[in-house]
Amino acid sequence: MLKSILGVIVGYIVMAIFAFGIFTCAYLGLGVDRVFEPDSYAISTAWIVLMIAVGLVGGILGGLTCAAISKSKGACTAFAVIVLALGLLGSLSAMRKEHATEARAGDVSNWDAMLKAENPTWLLLLNPVISAAGVLLGARMKKIPTA
C-alpha cells in the first residue's frame, strides 16, 4: 500500500517537474510573440501543440514512474483517475476566471504569462484526458509482474 501511494506521489512530482521545466524553457526560447497571438493573451497554435505534447509525454513519464515504484496496475489506474480529476478541477477553475481585457504589449514575465494566458475551453478539457491517457500508456510500457 505504501509503495502504491509513493508511486502516485512521485509520479505526480515527475509530471509537474517535467511540465514546469519544458514550459519555462519553451517560453524563454520561443518568446512572448510566438507564445501568444498578436496583441492578446490568447495562446498561439504552437503553444497549443506544445501543451498537448507535454501533457502526453509528462503523463507517460509519470505512469512509468508510478509503475516502477508501485509495481501495481491498480495504483497506476488510480493515478490516472487522480490526474484526470485534478486536471478537470484546474480546468474548471481556469474557465471561471475573468479574461484579461487589456491588450498585451511588450514583454510579459513568465509569471504574468501563466496568470493571463487565455486557453481555449476545448484545450482545458482535453489536456487532463490526454495526461491521464499518458499515465495509462506509460504504466503499460513498464512490465508489472502479476501477483
Q: Find cell 493571463 and name the residue.
A: 116
Domain positions in the chain are 2-99+106-137
Average pLDDT over residues 75-79: 96
Chain-centre distance for alpha carbon 94: 14
Residue 93 CB burial class (10 angstroms; 0-12, 13-18, ≥19): exposed
Q: Could you tell me the pLDDT band of residue 68, with boundaries at 50, 70 and 90?
A: very high
Q: Hey, what's the cell of 136? A: 495509462
- pLDDT, tens only, 94-124: 888 776 667 777 777 777 777 778 889 999 9
Q: What is the DSSP string of 76-100?
A: HHHHHHHHHHHHHHHHHHHHHSPPP
Burial of 105 (0-12, 13-18, 19+ CB in 10 A): exposed
Encode pLDDT of 6-39 as tens digits: 999 999 999 999 999 999 999 999 988 899 888 8
